[in-house]
């Protein structure tokens, strides 16, 4: 039973400068423990949460002691509970979360519990970050046209979320068209310090998208978790986490002229990947911090998943407070935030002597050493300095197929494909840019790179440079504020002139919503095996993610996106080769269109104003006409429509009883898929377009849905039937069973038939046979996509045996009752001689009390092979979830059994 908080003795009042009180807070200095002064700031946030929530039931005094003793305990991989201050949902992940909440209410009803107990106990911010389809691009009315298209396609999904905002308490829904979830979080939702009922405490957040980490730039501790884990957090369950190590990253000096925040973040990403920061916090400090704007910090924080850290954290300082003023937070709120953080030793004042904090390891970067760069052609941490780009591109053409190779024969590398574009002769070569997109929360939150791109456009237009008309260009800012300052600066017209019209405020090219290329361009690429390029200011460039026809995808700053679009190719040395010809026939070089840092700073200073943020976010609270006109049913239980292709009741709680099913082993399972390294959640559960020949397409066609209304997998995450069919449906899937053939197919082992993954899985299920997946390193890297765990579970996958797992994906598998196993160090399927044609048995004890986190288990095959694996249930709480068949059944049974 919960008891009174044993730390109530350190509950203090925080006085206002002019008398009165801001509220009460749990004072860390009042503990009089010298170890706290040496703790990283990010760990202090975990400590305060443990103290405030200590009830000797879910959070215990010994957990508080573990965190205070972080210096000694963190190397030992100790487990702690963490209760974040709030949960952030994006609509793609929010829909399944609300579907699950609605299902849980139904299940509670059937089991005789009080269905109204299923309500978020922790504040939930749900942003309808609608995915803008770049079908309507080069036009002035693109935003309105895309909004109308989105509402027509997604009316049912939006209506369902509007129902959820009324049916569930403690849930704020931000309507569509407002911006990308992470930028809205940074500019509007981030509290920095909460004041709830007179109790003050630091804002902290877990979100259902891995780039939730962007908020770390604001000094708010936040990271991505699986949708399943987020739902449990919403329902009052503490998150069980391993107390992380913290890498101290010292920044010195300032960036050179012509170097952008994007160049910095790509450099930081490569450095941290090399250092190894998976499962760790990274905390930035040093005198270089004063040279980084809040937007620069947010850009670095956003990319945490790409360098592998749980967080890239920037403690609150004067620059944070300046940003809060700029974005329209009130003076009273900012005074409360500063007073609280200073009083609780969570504020960094660089004008004062710094106490040396302890870190698990140390890195240092001199900002002067950063140079212009891009990353690609297939991974965000494969950084290429701009001056080496041409040479690197040619080596990629030569190299064997892989992360840095396309294996194009020498004699084919210079081929020129002639085609006809709207009646005009045109040519296409390897490396030619066909998509150029200023997109993604990573960079569109940063005025310096956005206005930098606009200045490049201005200089290019004045010199008479033009874009090739077949390049699909688009601009999708993360919030409406960007439009306001681009217009105020007078620079938007130059972007428009080059074809970078604003298409909407949401995720676009970065998640595969580029729309179709012009038919002539598409044919020229596919019929001649051209390695075409996309250049985008996003954070992810995994194969098959950006567009099926762009095999080379480069991440670049917004100004570089414009420059490469003007050049029309990535096969260029910007230092020696011209980008194009001026009006009077002179060669124009990169240096002729590149703005100086002073030029950018000047236009940022005069164009980015607090009133813009206030006006943008006041409009959010009023909604918009299309949203306000949505009529939704009342009632706390949802009326499921069996004919709906968007919202469908999943079978998670079918036949659920009050008794947990207990742990399950695996007996004589077939291998459904046999993978190598770096299988991402995009490979497992794509978010982009639904291929016309896929099982999901067949399902939709059978239900009378026209192909043009297929929409994306992301938009249909509320329908388990489609998402199960979309599992392992990525067109770039490489399955060893197919011996080099790429695509979403596998071999049904008993018959040797080649089938779609879904059809093979259904055949195994109908035969009553379990399946497993074999994989290499970094299985499940990429976006924190809960369907990448839900989908395999619905296909009948009982276990995944991999060399290593991405943190969130492993947690999601546990949440769905799928067993994650790791090969022992130095071993994998190949070294063990496994072909995947064997049958696999994993024997687990019948009682969960006999299983220990991280223990070894033996896997036995039907041909006599036997090998040890590490059972990747990492905590006792995860074992409890497994015992219950998953996290959601565990929560329901707990809520029914809980009397206090």
Decide if 82 contacts 253 (C-beta within 8 A): no
Same domain, 752 and 808: yes
Burial of 621 (0-12, 13-18, 19+ CB in 10 A): exposed
Is the residue at 698 inside a domain? no
Is the residue at 674 inside a domain? yes
What are the CA-CA distances from residue 200 to residues 216, 231, 609 (Å)?
19, 24, 29
Q: What are phi and psi of 565, to 5 degrees?
A: -65, -40
Element (H, E) at 222: strand 221-224
Nearest to 24 by CA among 37, 35, 15, 33: 15
Is the residue at 17 inside a domain? yes
**Strand, coil or helix: 456:** helix
Is the residue at 657 inside a domain? no
Name the maximum alpha-carbon separation found in the chain. Answer: 82
Same domain, 221 and 276: no
Same domain, 459 and 534: yes
Same domain, 208 and 289: no
- What tokens appear for 245 in the block? 């190590």
Sheet containing 246-252, strands listed edge to edge, beginning at the edge strand earlier in sequence:
311-313, 281-285, 246-252, 361-366
Nearest to 554 by CA among 457, 654, 431: 431
Which CATH number fits the domain that encloses residue 674?
3.20.19.10
Decide if 177 contacts 184 (C-beta within 8 A): no
Decide if 440 contacts 538 (C-beta within 8 A): yes
Domain that holds residue 546: 407-618
Cα angle for residues 535, 538, 541 (degrees, 5° grid)? 70
Helix axes 876-883, 887-897, angle to 10 degrees: 90
Residue 187 is given by DSSP the state I
Same domain, 29 and 169: no
Is the residue at 27 inside a domain? yes
- What tokens appear for 486 in the block? 């681009």
DSSP E strand stretches across 449-576? 472-475, 532-536, 550-555
The partner residues of 87 in beta bridges, in order of sequence, read 124, 206
Decide if 302 contacts 217 (C-beta within 8 A): yes
Element (H, E) at 606: helix 597-607
Among candidate residues 242, 266, 286, the one where a domain is terminated: 242
Same domain, 442 and 297: no
Is the residue at 195 inside a domain? yes
* Residues 245-270 as b or e (16 or more Cβ within 10 Å = b): bbbbbbbeebbeebbbbbbbbbbbbb
Same domain, 450 and 599: yes
Same domain, 482 and 577: yes
Q: What pLDDT was estimated at residue 900? A: 40
N-to-C CA span, the chain = 7
**Strand, coil or helix: 466:** coil
| Backbone region of residue 625 per phi and psi (left: phi > 0; alpha: psi in -120 to 50; beta: other values) | alpha
Which CATH number fits the domain that encloses residue 158?
3.30.499.10
CA separation for the pair 862, 198 (Å, rounded): 63
Q: What pLDDT was estimated at residue 133? A: 63
Is the residue at 472 inside a domain? yes
Helices (H) and strands (E) in the chain — how many of each? 32, 34
Same domain, 56 and 89: no
Q: How many other CB atoms are there within 10 angstroms of residue 363's CB atom?
A: 18
**Strand, coil or helix: 875:** coil
Among candidate residues 242, 263, 293, the one where a domain is terminated: 242
Same domain, 220 and 293: no
Q: What pLDDT was estimated at residue 545? A: 84
Decide if 207 contacts 89 (C-beta within 8 A): yes
The partner residues of 747 in beta bridges, in order of sequence, read 754
Total domains, the chain? 4
Residues 6+ apart with CB under 8 A from 271: 307, 363, 365
Is the residue at 658 inside a domain? no
Same domain, 540 and 580: yes
pLDDT means over runs of 10, the chain (900 residues): 83 93 98 96 98 91 97 92 95 88 92 87 88 60 79 87 92 88 94 96 94 96 89 88 96 95 94 94 96 95 93 98 96 97 96 89 97 94 95 97 95 96 95 93 89 98 95 91 95 96 82 84 96 93 87 96 98 97 94 96 95 88 85 89 93 91 94 95 90 95 93 90 96 92 95 96 96 96 86 97 91 93 96 96 93 94 95 88 92 76
Q: What is the pTM of this model?
A: 0.85
Element (H, E) at 143: helix 142-167
Same domain, 280 and 208: no
Q: What are phi and psi of 862, to 5 degrees?
A: -75, -10
């Amino acid at each position: 039973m919960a008891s009174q908080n044993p730390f109530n003795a350190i509950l203090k009042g925080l006085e206002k400068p002019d008398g009165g009180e801001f509220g009460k807070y749990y004072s860390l200095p009042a503990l009089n423990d010298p170890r706290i002064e040496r703790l990283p700031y990010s760990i202090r946030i975990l400590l305060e949460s443990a103290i405030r929530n200590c009830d000797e039931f879910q959070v215990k005094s010994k957990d508080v002691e573990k965190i205070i003793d972080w210096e000694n305990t963190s190397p030992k991989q100790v487990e702690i509970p963490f209760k974040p201050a709030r949960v952030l949902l994006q609509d793609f992940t929010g829909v399944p979360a609300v579907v699950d909440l609605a299902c849980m209410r139904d299940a509670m009803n059937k089991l005789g519990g009080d269905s109204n107990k299923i309500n978020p106990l922790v504040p939930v911010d749900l942003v309808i970050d609608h995915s803008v389809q770049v079908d309507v691009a080069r036009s002035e009315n693109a935003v309105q046209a895309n909004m109308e298209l989105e509402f027509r396609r997604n009316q049912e999904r939006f209506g369902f979320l509007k129902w959820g905002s009324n049916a569930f308490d403690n849930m704020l829904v931000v309507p569509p068209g407002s911006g990308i979830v992470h930028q809205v979080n940074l500019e509007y939702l981030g509290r920095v310090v909460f004041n709830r009922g007179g109790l003050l405490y630091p804002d902290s957040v877990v979100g259902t998208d891995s780039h939730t980490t962007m908020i770390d730039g604001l000094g708010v501790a936040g990271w991505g978790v699986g949708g399943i884990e987020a739902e449990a957090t919403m329902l009052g369950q503490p998150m069980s986490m391993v107390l992380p190590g913290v890498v101290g990253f010292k920044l010195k000096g300032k960036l050179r002229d012509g170097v952008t925040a994007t160049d910095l973040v790509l450099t930081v990403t490569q450095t941290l990947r090399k250092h190894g920061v998976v499962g760790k916090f990274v905390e930035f400090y040093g005198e270089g911090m004063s040279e980084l704007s809040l937007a620069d910090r947010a850009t670095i924080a956003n990319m945490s998943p790409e360098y592998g850290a749980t967080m890239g954290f920037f403690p609150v300082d004067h620059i944070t407070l300046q940003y809060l003023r700029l974005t329209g937070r009130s003076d009273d709120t900012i005074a409360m935030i500063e007073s609280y953080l200073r009083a609780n030793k969570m504020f960094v004042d660089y004008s004062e002597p710094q106490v040396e904090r302890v870190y698990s390891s140390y890195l240092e970067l001199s900002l002067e050493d950063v140079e212009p760069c891009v990353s690609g052609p297939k991974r965000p941490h494969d950084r290429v300095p701009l001056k080496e780009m041409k040479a690197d591109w040619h080596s990629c053409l030569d190299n064997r197929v892989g992360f840095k190779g396309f294996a194009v024969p020498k004699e084919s590398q210079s081929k020129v494909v002639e085609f006809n574009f709207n009646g005009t002769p045109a040519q296409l070569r390897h490396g030619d840019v066909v998509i150029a997109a200023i997109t993604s929360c990573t960079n569109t939150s940063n005025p310096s790179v956005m206005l930098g791109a606009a200045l490049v456009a201005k200089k290019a237009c004045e010199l008479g440079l033009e874009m090739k008309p077949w390049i699909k260009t688009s601009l999708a800012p993360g919030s409406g504020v960007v439009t306001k300052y681009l217009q105020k600066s007078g620079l938007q017209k130059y972007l428009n002139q080059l074809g970078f019209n604003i298409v909407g405020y949401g995720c676009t090219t970065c998640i595969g919503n580029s729309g179709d290329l012009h038919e002539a361009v598409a044919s020229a690429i596919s019929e001649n095996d051209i390695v075409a390029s996309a250049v985008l200011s996003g954070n992810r460039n995994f194969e098959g993610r950006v567009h099926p026809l762009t095999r080379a995808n480069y991440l670049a700053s917004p100004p570089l996106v414009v420059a490469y679009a003007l050049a029309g190719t990535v096969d260029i040395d910007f230092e020696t080769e011209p980008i194009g010809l001026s009006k009077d026939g002179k060669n124009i070089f990169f240096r002729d269109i590149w703005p100086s840092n002073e030029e950018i700073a000047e236009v940022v200073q005069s164009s980015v104003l607090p009133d813009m943020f206030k006006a943008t976010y006041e409009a959010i609270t009023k909604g918009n006409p299309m949203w306000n006109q949505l009529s939704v049913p009342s009632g706390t239980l949802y009326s499921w429509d069996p004919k709906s292709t968007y919202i469908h009741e999943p079978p998670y709680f079918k036949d659920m009883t009050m008794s947990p099913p207990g742990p399950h082993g695996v007996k004589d399972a077939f291998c459904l898929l046999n993978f190598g390294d770096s299988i991402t959640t995009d490979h497992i559960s794509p978010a982009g377009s639904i291929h016309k020949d896929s099982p999901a397409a067949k399902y939709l066609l059978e239900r009378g849905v026209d192909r043009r209304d297929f929409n994306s997998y992301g938009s249909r995450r509320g329908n388990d039937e489609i998402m199960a069919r979309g599992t392992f449906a990525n067109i770039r899937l490489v399955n060893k069973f197919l011996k080099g053939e790429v695509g979403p197919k596998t071999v049904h082992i008993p018959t040797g038939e080649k089938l779609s993954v879904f059809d093979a899985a259904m055949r195994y299920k109908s035969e009553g046979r379990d399946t497993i997946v074999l994989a290499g390193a970094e299985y499940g890297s990429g976006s924190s996509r809960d369907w990448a765990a839900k989908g395999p579970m619905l296909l009948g996958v009982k276990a995944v045996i991999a060399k290593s797992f991405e943190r969130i994906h492993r947690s999601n598998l546990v949440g769905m009752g799928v067993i994650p196993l790791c090969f022992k160090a130095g071993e994998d399927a190949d070294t063990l001689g496994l072909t995947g044609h064997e049958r696999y048995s994993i024997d687990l004890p019948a009682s969960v009390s006999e299983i220990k986190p991280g223990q070894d288990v033996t896997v036995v095959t039907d041909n006599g092979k036997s090998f040890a694996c590490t059972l990747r249930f990492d905590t006792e709480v995860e074992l409890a979830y497994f015992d219950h068949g998953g996290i959601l059944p565990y929560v329901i049974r707990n809520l029914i059994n809980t009397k206090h």
